[in-house]
A and B are shown apart, each in its own frame.
Chain A
Amino acid sequence: MQINDYEIPEGLYYSKEHEWIQIKGDHVIVGITDYAQKSLHEIVYVELPSVGSELEQMEIMGTVESVKAVSEIFTPISGKVVETNEKLVENPELLSKHPYTDGWIAKVQHTNLKKELENLMNMQEYAKYIRKVEE
């Protein structure tokens, strides 16, 4: 769905820090939302987590930088980073162009998904959250 110019796809789960996850069996794909990339504007640099690192839910997994600001990326769920999107290093603009597809950040093997999903929002809830943030 579309809220105030921001795209929010169905089927993903969202964090309050504007990351999304897509569940794929034993792992999830993590990225930042359209709202996050539009707020940052002109992303020029992405720092990815190291493959193999084990992170707790909402721990810092990387950073995204625009010309003016630095913003941290938090992992929406706990687990082990099994793969990162190396394309972002040379083409950080993929995050702005395709935040939900080619601009994905990492694949994380989840350890406590079911419980941790309670701390995340679905599309409707996130849309409501964005409306509130935008007020």
Chain B
Amino acid sequence: MMEDNILKKNPKKTHLYKFHVQKGRMDVFADFEMPMWYKGIIPEHLAVRSHVGIFDVTHMGRMVVSGPEAETFLNYITSNNVSALTPLSAHYSTMCNEQGGIKDDFVLSRLEEERFFMVYNASNRKKNYGWIVSHSHSFDVETIDVSGNVAMFAVQGPETEQTLQKISSKDLSKIGRFKCGWTELAGIKTFISRTGYTGEDGFEIFVWDTPSTRPKKAVKVWNEILESGKEFGIEPCGLGARDTLRLETGMCLYGNDIDEDITPLEARLGFVVKLQKREFIGRNALAKQKVEGIKRKRVGIYMLEKGVPRSNYEVWKNKRKIGIVTSGTLSPVLKRGIAMAYVPTEYATEGEEVTVKIRDRFAKGKIAKFPFYDPLKYGYRRKQ
């Protein structure tokens, strides 16, 4: 995930730069100098799974799309059904190219009837802006990139609500999963949505009208959340834990697990492809693929033997190569190697044994379902 080092000489900084530099190990990711970890990936990961953690994710791309034809326009460029979104609710979605390949995946929130908010991958900021604007001309919409003007934090883990409630003006129990709203946090107006990239309950927090040159409001919200979460064992978390958490829960990372040559159907994101919509970019290709059936599929691999699978390692079966690992790590919860890979559909059955070529040896694994952990013990559906 640290491949984008082009701007290493002059990376951008977020509002919390001073905090990060003082406490964390920094690296450049998608043009931003970001914390990879503070205490360490494993303790931060476990803090989110058992208590609460806070991430600065201001590097992500954010856009407001508004106007009388905002809904129609977004239905045209995205694969999910935007008409089903009521004000102050959100959904996960993809944008595809004409061939059905994924341009990006993102969360779309409906702020008002004619006003939407899109949060997408940091690495795709420029590409998305160009793509969206170029398709917007024949619609009565306005598109504004607000990335540089909004700070964004993710607070994740089972004790998120309790942490935030202490400093929130609004009753947070009223905001359900994939719902959003405006609240004051530590006296500062913020937009929050009950979404995230960890598999846990949690909120993503947007401090509006706050460029990094005037970081005061963002810094205050961050510090007050840390203070409020102290009694629950809150940890500031870096991008390292963000990556292991999303992988353990089975969520895709753009550029690794999905890209313009992979369709949402192959990536098992079919739940955000609404073919009943009359028209959207990529629809024809996806409809055709749905009828013909997919040839390869994203799967989870759980290692039965020691070793850590990594991206680009080969997946083998019956003495031949059948696929490639797209991301892999050691699962801090399961203490085993876990991975995502694409394999031919005939091998994509849960429990099927495969081997992963780790350098010069073959290590046994099996096709596993997502999330990798027991959803009754971890994640937002856990039994309390």
Contacts and interface: CB of A to CB of B under 8 A. Distances in A.
B359 A67 contact: no
Question: Which bracket fits the contact residues of B?
Answer: 10 to 19
Contact of B332 (A47, A63, A65, A67): A67
A68 B41 contact: yes
B11 interface: no
Interface string A41-52: 110110100000
Interface residues of A, number: 10
Interface in B342-384: 359
Contact of B25 (A41, A44, A70): A41
Contacts of A44: 308, 330
A67 B310 contact: no
A70 B329 CA distance: 11
B41 A42 contact: yes
A70 B306 CA distance: 14
B180 to A, nearest CB: 32
Interface string A63-77: 101011010000000
B151 to A, nearest CB: 26
B240 interface: yes
The SS class assigned to the A binding surface is: strand
B93 interface: no
B40 A42 contact: yes
Contacts of B308: 44-45, 65, 70
Given A67-B244, A70-B308, A41 B37 contact: yes
Contacts of A41: 25, 37, 40-41
A63 B244 contact: no
Contacts of B37: 41
Most chain-B CB neighbours within 10 Å: which of A47, A65, A68?
Answer: A68
A67 B306 contact: no
B330 A67 contact: yes
Given A45-B330, A70-B308, A63 B42 contact: no
B22 to A, nearest CB: 15
A61 to B, nearest CB: 13
Contact of B240 (A63, A67, A70): A67
B229 interface: no
Contacts of A67: 41-42, 240, 244, 329-330, 332
Interface string B323-334: 000000110100
Nearest to A67: B41
Contacts of B250: none
Contacts of B300: none
A68 B328 CA distance: 9
B359 A63 contact: yes
B307 interface: yes
Nearest to A60: B359
A10 to B, nearest CB: 28
Interface string A26-67: 000000000000000110110100000000000000010101
Contacts of A70: 308, 310
Contacts of B41: 41-42, 67-68
A68 B243 CA distance: 9
A70 B359 CA distance: 10
Contacts of B42: 42, 67
Nearest to B42: A42
A35 to B, nearest CB: 14
Contacts of B329: 67-68
Interface in B89-135: none
A67 B37 CA distance: 11
B28 to A, nearest CB: 15
Contact of B306 (A42, A45, A68): A45
Given A41-B41, A67-B240, A70-B308, 12 more contacts: A42-B42, A44-B308, A44-B330, A45-B306, A45-B330, A67-B330, A67-B332, A68-B36, A68-B41, A68-B243, A68-B329, A70-B310
Interface of B: 25, 36-37, 40-42, 240, 243-244, 306-308, 310, 329-330, 332, 359
6 nearest CB pairs, A to B: A67-B41, A44-B330, A42-B40, A65-B308, A42-B42, A67-B330
13 contacts: A42-B40, A42-B41, A44-B308, A44-B330, A45-B308, A67-B42, A67-B240, A67-B244, A67-B329, A67-B330, A68-B240, A68-B243, A70-B310
